[in-house]
Chains A and B, each alone.
Chain A
Amino acid sequence: MAVYEEQESPKAFSFRVWAELLPFFKPYRKYFAVTLGMNIFLAGVDIIVPLFQSYAIDFFITPGRLGGIGKFALIYAAVIVAQTICVYISVSAAITIEMNLGRDLKWAQFSHLQTLSFSYYNTTPVGYIHARVMSDTSRIASTVAWGLVDMFWALLYVVCVFGIMFVLNPALALIILLIVPCIAVLTVYFQNKILRWNRKVRKINAQITNAYNEGITGVKTSKSMGIEKENEEAFYSLTVTMRQAACRSARLNAVYVPAILLCSSVAAAVVLAQGGWMVREQIMQLGTLSVFISYAVIIFEPIQQLARLLAEMISCQANIERVTDLLKQEPNVVDRPEVMEKYGDAFHPRKENWEKIRGEILFEDVSFRYPDGKDYVLEHFNLHVPAGMNVAIVGETGAGKSTLVNLVGRFFEPTKGRILIDGVDYRERSQLWLHSQIGYVLQNPHLFSGTVRENIRYGRLSATDAEIEAAAKSVSADEVVRKLEYGYESQVGEGGGRLSTGEKQLISFARAILADPAIFVLDEATSSIDTQTEELIQRATEKLLKGHTSFVIAHRLSTIRRADLILVVKDGKIIERGTHGELLEKEGYYYELYAKQFEEEAAMQVFAGENFG
């Protein structure tokens, strides 16, 4: 798990890391050119502006005449207008780079994710994936677009200002130059420290959010145990560390900012004293002194900026590495080139070459272990499932019931041995071919935000409205739809959050049946569902499985009893197999599981009979 903790940020600038991004920069060369060009001009303007003041002193005030002041005012105003226009163009170009680059990176990440295997998703938290696609890419894009431009501007500005100062007066310029390293060192030192504390703050912040989550979801338990006080104390210790860390970071900032200001004051004071003496000795003009003072005060801003930007660029390397690492991830399950040739890939399927499927499945001496696991969970497993057979997989939560299902769906491939579908090793055909033939209904059915209709249509994109409604009706999902305010056009919310589990399940049945697959994979829900929905689901399940080859991770007795073959799983391994009758006869583990289940359902039936029958 430690892999997903925020990594320590890199310490030095690395061209290698940045070079990996170059292909992404390419399309925006023009925009880069525009914004850099504008910044050359802007740096120039920013340097000239203080000169106007000194010009006014040297040419109007000191001699005491006003000839040409109109022209002076006009030129000054014109420069300001030109500056405005350049700022606008530069900002536009930068934002275009930022957003387009971000968009391209996001797209690259997302499309690559679509090709990655299940093992990746099984071992990577959703939050981590989400952050790779959304925040890392945004951070990179904004650092590149703004950071690079600002750095360029600042560098240009600093160099030019020093150039001018050296031309005007090398001695004074040298004095100011001496303070530059102090500022740079201060900035790098403090920024690094502040960055570290900020990272800590973010970490504690995540813990606080977790604590709220736990405090709210576990409120009933906390209340019934009367441990509100203990919870509070644990929480307070979190907020105390939060305050400490945040204050620490703020305090560093509180030292840093005045320290920099002090540096600039020292520079200005030295310039004033030394330059004043020069003016008095008539070595230098008064206007020049005022320019020097202005530069002495202003120059520290871009120097600080340079140091800060450099630190930012370096820390951004961590984001770049995470993004490029994801792009380098190889999928575990890949179609072979000759298979792709014939069947097409996920994005360009060649359906004309796809065989029809009957739905016969054969496990031939299959051994399997998860890519991240040590032990084999299946060893020399043989199973023949003729087309149309219903296979139920039973066992306790966490016993490893989904392994077989993952193998059938080729979300994982056997480590040894083969799985044949209709007599052909499924690796000889494309994943998409197989997936198009398998209907999948999950225990916690996942719906996508959108309408009910859109969700059902997910099963077959070309389905007409009438077909969608017919599919819904066939599994009684229409009874759910009827209760919703806008019928099929009702929004289901994120992840289907506005519907109950039972309702989601019925809609996912409709989705699966619309796809009309030859093989069904069904993971029955365990969570309690109200009696009425439960009945609808039972009927729908029956309907769904009839005449299809199916694998059911079963919890309902009715489903289990009807199965042609029952596989009993314990501790990740299949320990018993047979029909319901055979397994009961055995009086083994299945028998025990069944007894418990039976008692519960018996009670439910009596009560149900009491009230409805």
Chain B
Amino acid sequence: MYARFSEKKEQEGKKELRKSSRKIDLIGRFFDGAKRYFVAVLVFSLAATALNALTPQIFRFGVDSLLEDAERVGLGGNLWFLAVLLIGIAVAAGISQYIFRFCTAQAGENFAKNMRDVLFSHVQKLPMSWHDQNQTGDLIQRCTSDVEVIRNFVVTQLLEVFRTVFLIGISFAMMLSMNQKLSLIVLAFLPVVILYSAVFYRLIAERFVAADEAEGELSTVVQENATGVRVVRAFGREKFEMDRFHEKNERFAGLWIRLGRLSGLYWGIGDLITGLQVVAVIVFGTLEAVQGTISVGEFIAFASYNTTLVWPVRGLGRILSDMSKAGVSFARVDYIIQAEEEDYQEEMGRSEENRKEAAGIVFDHVNFGYEAGKRVLTDLSFSIPPGTTFGILGGTGSGKSTIVQLLTRLYELEEGQGSIWFHGKEIREVPLKKLRKSVGMVLQEPFLYSKTIRENIAACAPDASMEEIRRVAGIACMEETIQHFPDGYDTIVGERGVTLSGGQRQRVAIARMLLAEPLVMVFDDSLSAVDSQTDSLIRKALEETRKSATVILISHRITTLMGADQILVLNQGRMAELGTHAELIQKQGIYRRIYEIQMSRDDRKKMKVYSMEGFETDVEIERLRSEREALAGTQKGITKEGGEEDGSI
């Protein structure tokens, strides 16, 4: 016992380790295939900057040689040499710049692609309980806008910072080599400009948030007006809406004008500071030149270096203050990354217990609630032998669907909440994907992807042939409907294409499940929107093609359930009754009462005819029941005694 416990501990430890290293892997994956581009960016941005810094030196040389004796300089009076050199440098700088920009895009786009891919795959693997806690809109925001902010940070801001630092370094070195005193004047202005820009952007940013919110509010008014247009018109509230819009619109425009003027002011002052710096350099440079400390060429070169510095330095301040935005976005993306994925291991470490008696599906004293303190299922035990049909009848919120969600581990049972067995194994010991592929589900309101009908049906079996797709569509009585669509099987479902009715969606979902050929087929109220004639046709076809599959039917219609080998009556998460149709009828319990009401109309006979087609005759039901009894003898023990008194409705 102890040995097992410690083994388990060790396993847990390994699991933890695996989890934390997975997170690092995820962030590491952002850089996949982008690293070399990042390196290239640094190298070539350095090269381009250095080459650009040579140009003023050539001017200097040219100008100075004009003033001095040409023979001594050795140009032979020919300045074309310098011109060619200038163009040569420009070409080299241009190529460096091209590579630099190209690699920046590659680095950034690869980074963004990785980030998107990682997020998409990660989000899909996060457990349902996590999805329940997070709003779709917010998640999408994080995966799109925040990713964009980070991408922008990496592509433009981060690299721009490097470039500017190189530029300052190189230009400054050049200046220093010509004249120290003038260089110091330039240097003195640098921190002032950077600091001023940073502070200025910080100040603007606050106002920007307010103005941005005003825009958001205005946008909401428009959005709600358009979506709620029926309400607006029905109450004749056009004027009210316009007043509301007017107010928000004025506020929005007013805030932006104030923001714009403020930034105009800051901008102007920034211009003033850099402008005065240029004045200072020219005036002091003139003084130096007259005194002969620098040559005219050096003077021109100096002024040139100074002007090339102005914009990048001012940009630096802005980038520095923008960086905080990227920090916020990164934290928002990280929130998703940090969430724990489900365990998608293909191979389970060990498959210790293999309970022979637990063939099929067994629920063993299962207790469950989505939130602490709110129990949905209480002490639920039953078993479904392979190849049989299991019906579940229950009221709203009785926990019917929870049973299936637990079986497929969309939600996990915790220690002490009982256990669920699938084909002899505890479900936690079955690889997740295998488990889910084995259990096919059709929900009452099935989700279809906005792809073609064919792609939707073949979602689980992308390689399926057209014949197979037609076959399953035929079983689901969908073939004819699809033929009537403009593009047949290539009709796109959803907003961009054809809107399917509830019944059509259900039938597509049934076809989709059939194509996957799962061991267990679950119909969670999945024919509720189909007319009864089609309903019985589908059920009949299913009965013929199910082969050895286990079927779980969830419904409120006795006619749907009555042919099942066992019927579970679930009331508020507890088993109220369990047995065959005939047994439950004799019990005088909930099932019996529902049966009576559903059958009690004056036209009962007729009802019976059309709804029984799926199971032909009472003889058929008898046959199924005897088969069930042979298979599910073990059930008797846990069948609850039904002793409720008759209640009137």
Contacts and interface: CB of A to CB of B under 8 A. Distances in A.
B229 interface: yes
B95 interface: yes
A319 B447 CA distance: 36
Interface stretch (A18-26, A77-85, A304-312, A415-423): A77-85
Contacts of A178: none
B598 A83 contact: no
A209 B526 CA distance: 30
A556 B314 CA distance: 67
A212 B144 contact: yes
A259 B94 contact: yes
Mostly helix, strand, loop or mixed at chain A's interface?
Answer: helix
A494 interface: yes
Contact of A269 (B87, B300, B597): B87
A88 B447 contact: no
Contacts of A254: 97-102, 105
A167 interface: no
B55 interface: yes
23 contacts: A87-B271, A91-B263, A102-B253, A114-B232, A209-B144, A211-B120, A214-B450, A217-B136, A219-B124, A225-B440, A225-B516, A226-B436, A226-B460, A243-B113, A246-B109, A254-B97, A258-B95, A262-B91, A269-B82, A277-B79, A431-B236, A446-B228, A606-B649
A134 B116 CA distance: 28
B101 A253 contact: yes
A216 B131 contact: yes
A438 B234 contact: yes
Contact of A113 (B224, B225, B279, B450): B225
Contact of B271 (A84, A277, A396, A458): A84
Contacts of B598: 598-599, 602-603
B481 interface: no
Given A232-B124, A265-B90, A530-B396, A130 B95 contact: no
Interface in B238-277: 238-242, 245-246, 249-250, 252-254, 256-257, 260-261, 263-265, 267-269, 271-272, 275-276
Interface string B127-152: 01001000010011001100000000
Nearest to B55: A265
Nearest to A117: B233
A396 B70 contact: no
A94 B556 CA distance: 67
A242 B112 CA distance: 10
B238 A114 contact: yes
Interface string A533-566: 0100000000000000000000000000000000
A91 B226 contact: no
Interface string A260-296: 0110011011101100110110000010011001000
Interface in B191-229: 218-220, 222-229
Nearest to B533: A592
A235 B122 CA distance: 12
B216 to A, nearest CB: 10
Contact of B265 (A62, A88, A243, A604): A88
Nearest to B100: A254
B573 to A, nearest CB: 11
Interface in A448-498: 448-449, 458-459, 461, 494-495
A80 B281 CA distance: 14
Contacts of A214: 449-450
Contacts of B289: 60-61
A76 interface: yes
Nearest to B257: A99
Q: Which of A60, A96, A103, A449 is packed against the most chain B CB atoms within 10 Å?
A: A103
B123 interface: yes
Contacts of B529: 396-397
Contacts of A1: 496
Contacts of B253: 99-100, 102-103
B80 A273 contact: yes
B395 interface: yes
Interface string A580-613: 0000100100011001101110111111111101
Nearest to B97: A258
B131 A346 contact: no
Q: Which of A1, A276, A587 is packed against the most chain B CB atoms within 10 Å?
A: A276
A550 B166 CA distance: 76
B338 interface: no
A611 B571 contact: yes
B220 to A, nearest CB: 6
Contact of B436 (A103, A223, A257, A409): A223
Contacts of A435: 233-236
A218 B447 contact: yes
Contact of A261 (B93, B106, B239): B93
A217 B450 CA distance: 12
Interface size class of chain A, counting residues whose CB lies under 8 Å from the partner chain: 35 or more
Interface stretch (A66-74, A187-195, A367-375, A376-384): A66-74
B63 interface: yes
Given A66-B290, A88-B264, A258-B97, A72 B283 contact: yes
A444 B239 CA distance: 24
A251 interface: yes
Nearest to B272: A84
Given A111-B242, A347-B239, A250 B101 contact: yes
A579 interface: no
A113 B226 contact: yes
Q: Which of A216, A262, A289 is packed against the most chain B CB atoms within 10 Å?
A: A216
Interface in A483-525: 494-495, 508, 511, 515, 521
B530 to A, nearest CB: 9
B593 A346 contact: no
Given A73-B283, A110-B242, A247-B105, A209 B67 contact: no
Given A69-B287, A598-B598, A600-B556, A243 B261 contact: no
A126 interface: yes
Q: Which of B102, B113, B117, B397 is packed against the most chain A CB atoms within 10 Å?
A: B113
A411 B235 CA distance: 12
A356 B370 CA distance: 54
A407 interface: no
B86 interface: yes
Contacts of A52: 282
A80 B594 contact: no
B501 interface: yes
B594 A603 contact: yes
B296 A61 contact: yes
B248 to A, nearest CB: 10
A600 to B, nearest CB: 5
A436 interface: yes
A228 B139 contact: no
Q: Which of A61, A83, A94 is packed against the most chain B CB atoms within 10 Å?
A: A61
Interface in B50-100: 55, 58-59, 62-63, 66-67, 70, 77, 79-80, 82-84, 86-87, 89-91, 93-95, 97-100
A14 interface: no
B104 interface: yes
B511 interface: no
A239 B91 CA distance: 34
Given A273-B83, A279-B66, A396 B503 contact: yes
Interface string B387-428: 000000111111000000000101000000000000000000
A111 B502 CA distance: 37
B441 interface: yes
B279 A87 contact: no
B567 to A, nearest CB: 12
A286 B571 contact: no
A550 to B, nearest CB: 14
A102 B211 CA distance: 14
A17 interface: no
B447 A220 contact: yes
A280 B231 contact: no
B352 interface: no
A270 B396 CA distance: 86
